[in-house]
Amino acid sequence: MKLLRTTDVDFEKGFRRIVDDRREGAGDVAADVAAIISRVKAKGDVALSEYTQRFDDHQLTEDGDWRIDLADCAAAFEGLEPTLRDALVLAAERIRTYHESQRPTDRDEIDSAGVRLGARWRPVDAAGLYVPGGRAAYPSSLLMNAIPAKVAGVERLVVVTPTPKGQTNPLVLAAAHLAGVDEIWRVGGAQAVAALAYGTDRIRRVDVVTGPGNAWVAEAKRQLYGVVGIDMVAGPSEILVIADNKNDPDWIAADLLSQAEHDPDAQSILITDDEEFADQVADRIDVQCAMLSTRRTARASWDDHGVIVVVERLDQAIGLANRLAAEHVELAVNDTAPFLDGIRHAGSMFIGRMAPEAVGDYVAGPNHVLPTGRRARFSSGLSVIDFMKRTSFIEMNHNSLAVIGPAAAALAHAEGLPAHANSIEVRLK
């Protein structure tokens, strides 16, 4: 953990290093991923089968090796312990309700020149959702990706997920049932993303690929961006907690650890105006961390990437927060309004002392897929719009073309595009 004080002479240098540190993880996999993609594009299912044998120790032979039966998902859901099932249902309902309000509205109007102008939103035909296997197989992520797609109206929602040695995760299957997933394929890695983008004999291609994954999956999405739509280039998770000394240090420590336990590359940052309080939080982190089953990950993250910034006045946190553009920002202060107002760059904000970020990960309703690595400067969390696209339209008759056409023709001539001008002039002759 790094401790910075705004009163230190080298504060600016140290803080800038934190802002510039992108923590993109896992080195250079671009060449490997490019090779996998081109092999899947050329060989289709044969390549998928080879890679799945090699990377997941799972043989794709019979139909049942390739796909998970939707009936198995329904059974997994029914088999859940009731408290857990209720929690999953509550999460799905709240996520659905929040996202339903994101549906964009169409427009269709006739302006003063008599030109009909509009825009129309339609869902993509098919979306692919990557669900990691192993440690990061989170049913909550499945809900957060699948429900916006279904709210958008996507008719075909395809999950790909690696099943190492054939093993599946019942919680993920239950979530797939609850979210209304249409197909689940037992493939993962860059090869699964390539299959979704180009299609194979078995797996029809999709239009958009979303969902978290390791460095290979992230790089495959980046390389295939343009062939398909993607949600975003995601990096390790991060939280910024802005807290005064009126908080219980145990609460703030718990919040910082909740990010740290995700990933050794995750980052937890505390900004406070009281160094004694900061010390108390750091102590409580040590105590709590020791008791966590995730302590190795949490410890590594906090040791390597944790930061405490001590400011003279808490309002200095606003400017620093804008430079950090963090994925999650908690405002654990009395008067939250100036912070809510002043912080322009954040993926999601958690307001007040009773709003731990973890609630947003599961049941609050807004999406937990959020921009990381300072990308909240220019990008937004996953939403219904990511599964839709807009078509604009223009209708004219002779009169309206006569009003605005000549200006278009003049500009076309000026740009050296006579055929553009001609397509207007020939109609107005």
Query: Is residue 177 flagged as an active site residue?
Result: no
- The interface with a second copy within residues 262-281 (CB under 8 A) comprises 262
Q: Which residue has the tokens 């290979």?
A: 216
- The interface with a second copy within residues 295-324 (CB under 8 A) comprises 298
Using CB under 8 A as the criterion, what x/- string covers residues 80-119 for binding a second copy?
---xx-xxx-xx--x--xx--x-----x---x---xxx-x
Among 13, 246, 296, 427, binds a second copy (CB under 8 A): 427
Within 10 A of 291 (CB to CB), how many other CB atoms are there? 7
Query: Are 4 and 15 within 8 A, CB to CB?
Result: yes
Among 29, 151, 158, 412, binds a second copy (CB under 8 A): 412
Using CB under 8 A as the criterion, what x/- string covers residues 192-211 for binding a second copy?
---------------xx---
**Region of 6-14, 182-190, 271-279, 290-298 interacting with a second copy (CB under 8 A):** 290-298
Decide: helix, strand or coil at residue 209: strand
Query: Are 248 and 58 within 8 A, CB to CB?
Result: no
Confirm or reject binding of residue 189 to a second copy (CB under 8 A). Answer: no
* Residue placing its CB nearer to a second copy in the complex, 52 or 405: 405
Decide: helix, strand or coil at residue 119: strand
Query: Are 76 and 177 within 8 A, CB to CB?
Result: yes
- Choosing from 238, 261, 327, 330, the catalytic residue is 327
- The interface with a second copy within residues 31-90 (CB under 8 A) comprises 83-84, 86-88, 90
379 is in an annotated binding site: no
* Residue placing its CB nearer to a second copy in the complex, 20 or 62: 20
* Residue placing its CB nearer to a second copy in the complex, 67 or 222: 222
Alpha helices in 262-350 (DSSP H): 275-290, 295-305, 316-324, 337-342
Number of residues that bind a second copy (CB under 8 A): 122
DSSP string, 44-96: THHHHHHHHHHHH-----SHHHHB--HHHHHHHHHTS-HHHHHHHHHHHHHHH
Tell me how far apart the alpha carbons of residues 256 and 241 are, in angstroms, rounded to a whole number: 7
Query: Is residue 99 flagged as an active site residue?
Result: no
Query: Are 270 and 278 within 8 A, CB to CB?
Result: yes
DSSP string, 147-179: HHHHHHT-SEEEEE---GGG---HHHHHHHHHH
Among 29, 257, 317, 320, binds a second copy (CB under 8 A): 257
Query: Are 175 and 150 within 8 A, CB to CB?
Result: no
| DSSP at 10 | T
Pairing relationship of beta strands 126-130 and 156-160 according to DSSP bridges:
parallel
Confirm or reject binding of residue 393 to a second copy (CB under 8 A). Answer: yes
259 is in an annotated binding site: yes
361 is in an annotated binding site: yes
Among 190, 281, 346, 384, binds a second copy (CB under 8 A): 346
**Region of 36-44, 50-58, 249-257, 269-277 interacting with a second copy (CB under 8 A):** 249-257
Q: Return binding residues for Zn(2+).
A: 259, 262, 361, 420
